[in-house]
Amino acid sequence: MDSFLGNVYQSYVKMPRNVEVKAKVHNWDHTRKECEALSKSAGETLAQRDVFFNTEHGRLKLRDFQDGRGQLIYYERPDLQGPKLSNYSISSTSDPHGLEEVLTQALGVRGSVVKQRLLFLVGQTRIHLDRVQDLGDFLELEALPAKMTLFLACESSSNGQKSQTTRKPSNRDWRKSGGCGKKRNNNHEPASLRPSRIAKNTGWS
**Which pLDDT score is estimated for 17?**
60
**Which pLDDT score is estimated for 118?**
97
In CATH terms, is domain 2-192 a member of 3.50.50.60? no
Q: 112 has which bridge partners?
A: 51
* CB contact set of 130 (below 8 Å; sequence gap of 6+): 115, 116, 117, 118, 137, 138, 139, 140, 195
* CB contact set of 55 (below 8 Å; sequence gap of 6+): 74, 107
**Which pLDDT score is estimated for 117?**
97
Which amino acid, residue 164?
Q
Q: What angle do CA 138, 35, 155 make, to 5 degrees?
A: 45
**Which pLDDT score is estimated for 188?**
33
Per residue of the chain (205 residues), give pLDDT as tens.
Answer: 444 445 544 544 443 367 778 899 999 999 999 999 999 999 999 999 999 999 998 999 999 998 889 999 998 887 777 777 778 889 999 999 999 999 999 999 999 999 999 999 987 778 999 999 999 999 988 886 553 434 444 334 433 444 444 344 444 443 343 333 333 333 333 333 333 333 444 444 5
Compute how many other C-beta atoms are within 10 angstroms of the C-beta atom of residue 50. 20
Domain layout of the chain by residue ranges: 2-192
- Is pTM beyond 0.85? Reply is no
